[in-house]
Amino acid sequence: MPFKIIASQCTSCSACEPECPNVAIREKGGTFVIDPKKCTECIGHFDEPQCVAVCPVDNTCVIDTSLPRYQAPV
């Protein structure tokens, strides 16, 4: 359940929202947030996390270390 967006760095450009294969990203309070219950780190969808790849500000979409990593269902 893993990626989060650091709100203070988010430019609110919305580029990540349509790229997320899990529809886990939405606008909240002026910036964008990732629903940790829906995020799969893009495992099974793409080679790289789409929000990280499209975000214009480096180190803004990062692994949320307070939560366990996503486990793909066996």
Partner 1 sequence: MDVSAQHDASSSNVADVGEIMQAIAEHKGCGTTGGSGKASCGSSAGQGDLPTEIWEKVKNHPCYSEEAHHHYARMHVAVAPACNIQCNYCNRKYDCANESRPGVVSEKLTPEQAAKKVLAVASTIPQMTVLGIAGPGDPLANPDKTFKTFELIYNTAPDIKLCLSTNGLMLPDHVDTIAKYNVDHVTITINMVDPEIGAKIYPWIFYKHKRYTGYEAAKILTDRQLQGLEMLTERGILCKINSVMIPGINDQHLVEVNKAVKSRGAFLHNIMPLISAPEHGTVFGLNGQRGPSAQELKALQDSCEGEMNMMRHCRQCRADAVGLLGEDRSAEFTTEKIMAMEVKYDADTRKAYQAKVEEERVAKVTAKQEELAELAGASSDIKVLVAVATKGSGLINEHFGHAKEFQVYELSTAGAKFVGHRRVDLYCQGGYGEEDSLETIIRAINDCHAVFVAKIGGCPKGDLIKAGIEPVDQYAHEFIEKSAISWFKAYLDKVNGGEIAHVERGDAAIRQGALISAA
Binding positions for partner 1, rule: CB under 8 A? 11-15, 18-19, 46-48, 50, 53-54, 56-57
Query: Quick one: CA dihedral 23, 31, 51, 65, positive or negative?
Result: negative
Cβ proximity to partner 1, 9 vs 36, nearer residue: 9
Q: At closest approach, how far in Å is the CB of 53 from partner 1? A: 4
Measure the CA angle with vertex 22, ends 62 and 24; round to 5°: 55
Q: How far apart are CA 70 and CA 29, in angstroms?
A: 26
The distance of closest approach from Cβ of residue 42 to partner 1 in the complex, given in angstroms and rounded to an integer, is 9
- Report the nearest approach of partner 1 to the CB of residue 54 (Å): 5
